Amino acid sequence: MGEKSNSGDAINSTLLHGKYELGRLLGHGTFAKVYHARNLKSGKSVAMKVVGKEKVMKVGMMEQTKREISAMNMVKHPNIVQLHEVMASKSKIYIAMELVRGGELFNKIARGRLREETARLYFQQLVSAIDFCHSRGVYHRDLKPENLLLDEDGSLKVTDFGLSTFSEHLRQDGLLHTTCGTPAYVAPEVIGKKATTAPRLTSGLADDNLVALYKKIYRGDFKCPPWFSSEARRLITKLLDPNPNTRITISKIMDTSWFKKPVPKNMMGVKREEMDLEEKIKQQEECKSTTMNAFHIISLSEGFNLSPLFEEKKKEEKEIRFATTRPASSVISRLEEVAKAVKFDVKKSETKVRLQGQERGRKGKLAIAADLYAVTPSFLVVEVKKDNGDTLEYNQFCSNELRPALKDIVWRTSPPENRTPA
């Protein structure tokens, strides 16, 4: 969360469960207050969102609170505000989040127009975050400059997932059928009482008269300032297409020449120079974390730290290790068959096989490495692991392609059908 203008407000320093020192008030809304807090063990600062349990339950906002916690924990990305942990007392829910000190993008825009290179950098980071959310089945539904924060290095951070939804809430036609978000940014198809297409960006237009505003959004009535480049104008026109069926998609946005222009080095913060975006994502995904079962949030009487209540083991990237009595040549041939079926390239030796996709995924081309170890001349152990690419794509490849293809060559002490029930 970012610091708001009411930094003069303060409260007496309070210890939360002996773990956090609660400091000054950074901002507040109808149902929550955000404080500066310090982790006493690490010394690091966090933003502590304090939600009144009774108040949110009274107005039926508990589901929204659950969604926010679950969504934030599912999307670990350098351009999304990070959730550290969730705690509670009998009357409060405490959400410890990454502290983002640079304020809202809205405030920066309000001070005057941005250079196109700066706007492109923020847009690239935003689209990267949106694309990552959608790959995890999370849809924000309230993207606007007020929900985009800036850190000290000028990197963008998406926040406020209270209106988010998940892929299981999509109907079979792939569409979301609920209105959502802020009026000035609502999608034209929602105004037209049509389903809102989840993976699209919504428009941001302003008008004092709400009816006139909705008419402009529905018609796609907008004007670009004269200083916009022709490439930027073309992209914005495609983004604000009122027809969701012809509106530009995330993948097409990322393929436009305007989007793909590199960021000048003098605009990149120290952190961005030290580590590129994909490396950050890779490191964050490899950290041990859990997926929160938000429905347990109602059970607040069992102690202060709610982490055990939220634990459903996340599907981590796993090595596949199995034994086989087949010769190495048979295992290699089977892996080559899998590669051929999915149009992967193959590099092999007598003890190693590497499969690599021809198409670029979310984090480069997916690559899988298999090492064959001969325990005896007739007994092999095979280890398969991700060598490059996205963890989710690797897990899907293993589940859908690799495991079924290798099933009959995996050595078992006895056939499954002959096992005696316990």
153 given a catalytic annotation: no
- Please give the C-alpha separations between residue 279 and each of 177, 272, 276, 363, 395, in angstroms, as whole numbers: 36, 10, 5, 9, 19
Domain covering 14-99+294-313 in this structure, CATH number: 3.30.200.20
Q: Where are the domains of the chain?
A: 14-99+294-313, 105-286, 320-412
Q: What is the pTM of this model?
A: 0.60
Given the residues 142, 207, 371, 387, the one annotated as active site: 142
Specify whether the CB–CB gap between 244 and 196 falls below 8 A: yes
Specify whether the CB–CB gap between 154 and 185 falls below 8 A: no
Neighbours of 326 (CB within 10 A): 18
Contacts of 416 (CB under 8 A, 6+ apart): none
Specify the pLDDT at position 32: 84
Specify the pLDDT at position 269: 54
Annotated binding residues, written as ranges, equal 53
Looking at domain 105-286, its CATH class is mainly alpha
Give 375's pLDDT tier (boundaries 50, 70, 90). low
Superfamily of structural domain 320-412: Kinase associated domain 1, KA1 (3.30.310.80)
Burial class (CB in 10 A: 0-12, 13-18, 19+), 212: exposed
- CA 142 from chain centre, in angstroms, equals 15
Token code pair at residue 233: 């104008």
Give the Cα separation of 109 and 178 in Å (integer): 30
Over the stretch 86-103, which tens digit does the pLDDT of each residue have? 888 888 889 899 999 888
Annotated binding residues for ATP, written as ranges, equal 53
Token code pair at residue 63: 């589901």
Give 43's pLDDT tier (boundaries 50, 70, 90). very high
The DSSP H or E segment spanning 338 is helix 328-341
Query: What does 295-334 look like in DSSP terms, one character per residue?
Result: GGGG---S-SB-HHHHEEE------EEEEESS-HHHHHHH
Neighbours of 197 (CB within 10 A): 18
Mean pLDDT across 44-57: 88
